[in-house]
């Protein structure tokens, strides 16, 4: 029969029981009432010896804590409520990624997702990590980080959550994929601009002269362009960082060639913005179009997927599998801006601040740079 033990310095009873293999187990019941603690101890021992099923185990927990309390702290229900809580504070595409990750984690638990957060164990996390092992290590680490975030929120909300990540190591992320990307050369940019239509030419020039990501450039409106002050003001979608970017002479000349609008909410690149909005904030379709543009310029050889299959399936790797990173992409313009600035003798911290790089590992701890220095740096970028 299960027994109870109380540490002299704790007010909670600890359940002690023997599992099916004969091991002696202990777990805090988080209860100060001996009768309730004994019920839980007996339920834990019966479940460990497989004398009762999971459904009966949940029923006993509800008897101890009450229907509302037991239901309110299940893993599945807390995960759902946490996703709803953070929805207003993150981008829609980020929230969609979080929702996919949470769904994957909850499904990996099976029936255990209906248990209280109190009963989530290191074994559950270890099994989930194992299920991610065949996928991409970056994806795996992001999914594990997401679960850790959810559990921290549960703990902050006052739910009793054990540190179930002790001993769970992240996946090793190889550097071969990031090393594959490289900046454009000036002749390559000139070739690319030759085959680009008017809107893509504008997107490329904004990418080079601001160093910003494709989604942020596609979403630019005329209200964010201050020609009098020579500045572009935006908040990055990925990091939420507010940027005030100087408009250099080359970009200012390009802006005069764009059709203006009396509506400050008008988009600079309406076709690109429509593609991003149609994909709920994701830039995958727009990125694919840029890949086709690179192919037209002779700068990339694009693998054709098998008829009727997505590109990942055509290569036999699946969406979570390792994939080859193209040498050149729209993000390469960000690397190009930094490379050209450094080649022109612009200090690294100035170059990084100009393009809004937030990776302190890459920026070597750079500090904020004054706006005059940023304006001088922007003028070092070549006119195309």
Is 311 a domain residue? no
Residue 46: CB atoms within 10 Å: 17
The answer to whether 218 and 272 have CB atoms below 8 angstroms apart is: yes
- Return d(Cα 351, Cα 331) in angstroms, integer: 16
At a CB cut-off of 8 Å and minimum separation 6, what does 9 contact?
A: none
Q: What is the CA radius of gyration of the chain?
A: 27
Q: Which of these, 175, 196, 193, lies nearest to 184 by C-alpha position?
A: 193
For residue 364, what are its two tokens? 């070597």
- Whose tokens are 């008897």? That residue is 63
Hunting for tokens 């005059």 — which residue is that? 372
pLDDT at 361: 36
Q: What angle do CA 354, 360, 362 make, to 5 degrees?
A: 75
Q: What is the C-alpha separation between 250 and 247, in angstroms, rounded?
A: 8
Q: Is 30 left (phi over 0), alpha (psi -120 to 50) or beta?
A: left
Looking at 120, 148, 171, the residue that finishes a domain is: 171
* Pairwise CA distance, residues 292 & 123, whole Å: 46
In this prediction, residue 178 carries a pLDDT of 44
Claim to verify: residue 194 and residue 152 sit in the same structural domain: no
Query: What is the CB neighbour count within 10 angstroms for residue 358?
Result: 12
Question: Token digits for 383?
Answer: 């006119």
pLDDT at 155: 82
The H or E element containing residue 217 is helix 214-218
pLDDT at 240: 78
> Residues 248, 374: one domain?
yes
Q: 3-state class of 226 per DSSP?
A: strand
The answer to whether the beta carbons of residues 211 and 341 sit under 8 Å apart is no
Residues 359 and 248 in one domain: yes
Domain that holds residue 9: 3-71
Say if residue 107 is in the same domain as residue 237: no
Instruction: For residues 61 and 95, state if they share a domain.
Output: no
Q: Supply 146's token pair.
A: 């997401």
Contact 154, 117 (CB under 8 A): yes
Decide if 47 is inside a domain.
Answer: yes
Look at residue 332 in the predicted model and tell me its pLDDT. 92
The predicted-structure confidence for 204-213, as pLDDT tens digits, reads as follows: 999 999 989 9
| 232 and 333 assigned to the same domain | yes
Assigned domain for 25 exists:
yes
Q: Looking at the domain assignment, is residue 336 inside a domain?
A: yes
Find the CATH number of the domain harbouring 158.
Answer: 1.10.150
Please check whether residues 264 and 214 belong to one and the same domain. Answer: yes
In a domain, 133, yes or no: yes
Determine the distance from the C-alpha atom of residue 61 to the mean position of all C-alpha atoms in its chain, rounded to a whole number. 35
**What pLDDT was estimated at residue 69?**
46
User: What is the predicted pLDDT for the residue at 49?
Assistant: 63
71, HSE (Cβ side, Cα atoms, 13 Å): 3
Task: Quote the CA–CA distance of 358 and 133 in Å, as a whole number.
Answer: 29
Quick one: pLDDT at residue 320?
A: 47
pLDDT tens, residue by residue, 192-246: 999 999 999 999 999 999 989 999 999 999 999 998 999 999 888 877 778 889 9
Q: Where residue 238 sits, what CATH number does that domain have? A: 1.10.443.10
Please report the pLDDT score of residue 215 as a whole number.
94
Phi, psi for 329 (deg, rounded to 5): -150, 180
- Distance, in Å, from the CA atom of 234 to the CA atom of 46, rounded to the nearest integer, reads 59
Distance of CA 97 to CAs 77, 104, 106, 218, Å?
Answer: 18, 11, 14, 20
* Domain stops at, among 125, 152, 171: 171
In degrees to the nearest 10, what's the CA dihedral of 152, 158, 164, 166? 70
pLDDT at 309: 43
**Residue located via tokens 């209280």:** 116
Q: What is the pLDDT of residue 145?
A: 92
Output the pTM of the full model: 0.54
**How many structural domains comprise the chain?**
3
- Shared domain for 105 and 197, answered yes or no, is no
Structure tokens, 181: 């990307």
> Would residue 307 count as lying in a domain?
no
In terms of domains, do 184 and 89 share one? Answer: no
Q: Tell which residue, 260, 264, 267, 277, has the closest CA to residue 203.
A: 267
What token pair was written down for 72? 């309110």
- Which H or E run contains 363? helix 360-363
DSSP 8-state secondary structure symbol assigned to residue 90: S
Pairing between strand 24-28 and 225-226? unpaired
Single out the residue in 15, 46, 71 at which a domain terminates: 71
Q: Indicate whether 194 and 271 sit together in one domain.
A: yes
Q: Is 325 left (phi over 0), alpha (psi -120 to 50) or beta?
A: beta
pLDDT in tens, the chain (384 residues): 788 988 887 888 888 877 666 667 777 877 888 888 888 888 777 766 655 544 455 555 555 545 444 444 788 989 999 999 988 888 787 888 899 999 999 999 998 888 888 778 888 899 999 999 888 888 889 999 999 999 888 888 777 666 788 788 888 876 444 446 789 999 999 999 999 999 999 999 999 999 899 999 999 999 999 989 999 998 888 777 788 899 999 999 999 999 877 898 999 999 999 999 988 888 999 999 999 999 999 998 655 343 344 444 444 545 444 445 578 899 999 889 888 888 888 887 777 877 775 443 333 333 344 577 778 878 888 888
Residue 312 covered by a domain: no
Say whether both 150 and 266 belong to one domain.
no
DSSP helix/strand/coil, 104: helix
Please state whether beta strands 24-28 and 231-235 pair in parallel, antiparallel, or not at all (unpaired): unpaired
> Looking at the structure, do residues 16 and 84 belong to the same domain, yes or no?
no
Instruction: Determine, yes or no, domain membership for 28.
Output: yes
């Amino acid at each position: 029969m299960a027994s109870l033990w109380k540490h002299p310095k704790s007010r909670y009873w600890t359940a002690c029981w023997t599992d099916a293999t004969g091991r002696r187990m202990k777990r805090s019941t988080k209860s100060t009432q001996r009768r309730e603690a004994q019920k839980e101890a007996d339920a834990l021992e019966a479940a460990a010896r497989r004398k009762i099923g999971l459904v009966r185990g949940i029923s006993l927990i509800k008897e101890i804590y009450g229907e509302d309390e037991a239901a309110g702290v299940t893993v599945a229900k807390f995960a759902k409520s946490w996703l709803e809580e953070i929805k207003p504070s993150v981008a829609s595409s980020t929230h969609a990624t979080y929702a996919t990750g949470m769904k994957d984690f909850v499904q990996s638990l099976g029936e255990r997702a209906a248990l209280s957060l109190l009963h989530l164990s290191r074994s559950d996390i270890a099994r989930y990590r194992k299920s991610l092992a065949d996928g991409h290590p970056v994806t795996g680490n992001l999914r594990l980080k997401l679960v850790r975030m959810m559990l921290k929120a549960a703990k902050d909300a006052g739910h009793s959550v054990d540190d179930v990540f002790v001993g769970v190591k992240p996946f090793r992320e190889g550097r071969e994929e990031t090393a594959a990307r490289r900046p454009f050369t000036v002749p390559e940019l000139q070739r690319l601009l030759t085959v680009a239509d008017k809107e893509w030419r504008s997107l490329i020039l904004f990418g080079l002269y601001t160093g910003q990501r494709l989604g942020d450039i596609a979403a630019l409106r005329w209200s964010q362009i201050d020609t009098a002050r020579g500045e572009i003001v935006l908040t990055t979608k990925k990091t939420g960082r507010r940027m005030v970017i100087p408009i250099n002479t080359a970009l200012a000349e390009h802006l005069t060639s764009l059709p203006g609008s009396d509506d400050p909410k008008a988009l600079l690149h309406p076709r690109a913005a429509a593609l991003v909005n149609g994909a709920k904030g994701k830039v995958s379709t727009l990125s694919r179009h840029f890949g086709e543009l690179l192919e037209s310029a002779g700068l990339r050889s694009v693998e054709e997927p098998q008829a009727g299959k997505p590109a990942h399936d055509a290569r036999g790797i699946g969406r979570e599998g390792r994939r080859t990173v193209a040498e050149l992409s729209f993000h390469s313009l960000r690397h190009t801006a930094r490379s050209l600035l450094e080649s022109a003798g612009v200090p690294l911290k100035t170059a990084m601040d100009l393009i809004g790089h937030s990776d302190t590992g890459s920026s070597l701890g750079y500090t904020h740079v004054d706006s005059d220095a940023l304006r001088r740096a922007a003028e070092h970028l070549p006119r195309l």
